[in-house]
Chain A
Amino acid sequence: MAQVHTTTARQDVVRPSAVQLAWLQRRSGSLALYAVLLVFGIVFAFPFYWVLSASVKDIVEIRAIPPTWWPHSFTLDAYSRVWSEKFARFFLNSFVYAGTVTLIDVFTSALIGFVLIKHPSRLGNIVFWTILSATMVPFVTYLLPLFNLLIQVQDLLHVPMINTYWGMILPWMISPFGVFLMRQAMYSVPSEMLDAARIDGASDWTTFWRVVVPLVKQNMAALALLVFIFRYDDLLWPLVVAQSANMYPVTIGLVEFIGEYFVEYDLYTAAAVMAIVPVALMYLVLQRFIIEGIATQGLKG
């Protein structure tokens, strides 16, 4: 498009005013564009600045009406108070929960995707369709029977499930969208390589682990990030399974916290900042993978 404009402008070279006008038009267009981009940049980023600045204001300034735009005072008291309020434990729980689910889910998704595409069968197709239709089922509609099932497992097999990490992790060990994502990735793995591995005497397992996994490493990394972020943000399932404070993940910690310290804005803004930081850091380093993963697959919104 820009090229078309340039050529017409060049034809008008005999009339300098027209050239200048065209230049101005182009410039003003792009200036307006940058203005729009900047305004929305502020809209999307300002809440983060606002909560960050609130979290370092001292106890007097945070109650100022109207609020101050730039913190005049600076204190990290709120952070140390929040940290000592069991938040260290909440973070540990969140990382164990989200981290373990991520490791297991990425592994199972890759394995299932591999079998569905590279060892095709009618049963495999049926299984894939039932998995795909499971994505339409909202978790809240089978939450209660699932919880009852965990209680039954606990009673019959004497495996602790309620209020344990395993109970929290169990429903997420295989995810439909992970299978879907890795199944797509398997199309990029050349079957010739798998045949070559088999001729060399590799078992199916060795082929998967030594040949396929290195080829789809990037897809697995993207999936891992998304799974981690979604689990880290999970509230509903931990609300049901985690029943004592020492099992709470950060999400429940925040909810309990706001109930208890609703008027102490410095505390809950500091808590919110602390919950955002780990994910924000991950995003800062690996944003490209995340955005590409979303753009190509379109996950749940």
Chain B
Amino acid sequence: MVTEAWLPRSGLGRAVLALCIGFFGLLIWWPILQTFWLSLQFKRPGEQYFVGLQNFRFLLFEDPLFWKSLSVTFAFVGMTVPGVVVLGLFLAVVLNGLKNLTLRGFFTSLYFVPFIVPLVAVALVWKYMYLPGNQGLLNTLLSFADVGPIRWLNSSDWALPSLAMLRIWKISGYAMVLFLAGLQSIPAVYYEAAAIDGANAWHRFWRITLPLLTPTMAFVVVITTIGAMLEFTTVYVMTTQTGTTGLDRGGPNFATYVMSYHIFKTAITNQYEGLGSANAAIFFCIMVAIGYLQYRFLKVRHEY
């Protein structure tokens, strides 16, 4: 769009832009600047002084929990993103092959339900399914195959995969809807040409569908990566450090101690505001880097 004027010609336009600048400036950008400012301070309720880069030094070299939470967060991304992409794509391809539009609509809506229901409630539901011993649904199912029982959320090996399974279950329908939209934008001409040339379904998927779906794929990967990086709710609702109940989450033995929870716990619960802000500043930089990739991918998407 070619626009020469610096300001909108209408009074309404000027007022709305002023409102926008005021709102985002005051409630997003100013707090973010504050985060970076606070990251250079020692701040607890009632005392505050400048410490330079001390907080960062502590986080990077002395705080094992920082590195633990970073590795847990990336492990969580590694567990969920491939699962969501593969399952979402598979369901989209299967649904796209369904000729009956009523049934297609029905199954699309059905698979999408988990995405729309509140995560806190779903976390309770899954916590109930993950009950240890032979009381939970999943262990009962496993016992039919003579496996288990697994201690799921109470085991430091299984706690993070348990949360990952929940997330895959919840987000796949969302990825599926995006893939379905991508599939339907592929012109049918390509498939007709391929069919005339004698390509089978397998070839058509690898040679036509997948390459033409690359922009959607990139978008889904980035958006699910960001979502997984920010995981907080399931950790807060489902996990404990002690194995039973308690106020300390992210366990057992820090197995589900994700970055968002580490920041929340340091800055809000324990009120080490400077340290928590330094942690938030590092996390901000990581997320902006990922967001930059998203921007690049979205540009690719537009060119397509």
Contact = CB atoms under 8 A, between A and B. Distances in A.
Nearest to A149: B31
B101 interface: no
B264 A232 contact: no
B1 A291 contact: no
Interface string A25-54: 000000001001100110111011011001
A296 interface: yes
B125 A144 contact: no
B112 A287 contact: yes
B232 A235 contact: yes
A232 B117 CA distance: 10
A141 B235 CA distance: 17
B110 A43 contact: no
A121 B3 contact: yes
B244 interface: yes
Interface in B103-155: 103, 107-114, 116-122, 124-129, 131, 133-137, 140, 143
A296 B180 CA distance: 11
B39 to A, nearest CB: 10
Contact of A44 (B21, B113, B230): B113
Interface in B210-265: 219, 223-224, 226-227, 229-230, 232-233, 236-237, 244-245, 247, 260, 263-264
Interface in B173-219: 173-175, 177-178, 180-181, 191, 195, 219
A48 B169 CA distance: 12
A115 B171 contact: no
Contacts of A268: 124, 128
B125 A47 contact: yes
A122 B16 contact: no
Interface residues of B, number: 108
Nearest to B225: A301
Contact of B8 (A54, A120, A273, A290): A120
A130 B32 CA distance: 13
Given A112-B20, A144-B276, A174-B23, A119 B12 contact: yes
Interface string A280-291: 100100010011
Contacts of A127: 17, 20-21, 24
A120 B14 CA distance: 11
Contacts of B283: 138, 140-141
Interface residues of A, number: 92
A78 B161 CA distance: 31
A115 B111 contact: no
A67 B140 contact: yes
B284 A137 contact: yes
A269 B124 CA distance: 7
A48 B177 CA distance: 21
Contacts of A232: 118
Of all A-B residue pairs in the complex, the 9 with the closest CB atoms, nearest first, are A136-B291, A145-B34, A119-B13, A145-B31, A301-B227, A142-B31, A119-B8, A275-B121, A204-B12
Interface of B: 1, 3-13, 16-17, 19-21, 23-24, 26-32, 34-35, 38, 91, 94-95, 97-99, 103, 107-114, 116-122, 124-129, 131, 133-137, 140, 143, 169, 171, 173-175, 177-178, 180-181, 191, 195, 219, 223-224, 226-227, 229-230, 232-233, 236-237, 244-245, 247, 260, 263-264, 267-268, 273, 276-277, 280-281, 283-284, 287-288, 290-292, 294
25 contacts: A37-B94, A43-B169, A44-B110, A45-B113, A51-B128, A67-B140, A115-B8, A138-B230, A138-B284, A142-B35, A143-B267, A144-B267, A144-B276, A145-B32, A146-B31, A149-B26, A174-B20, A174-B24, A205-B12, A208-B12, A232-B118, A233-B119, A236-B232, A275-B121, A298-B219
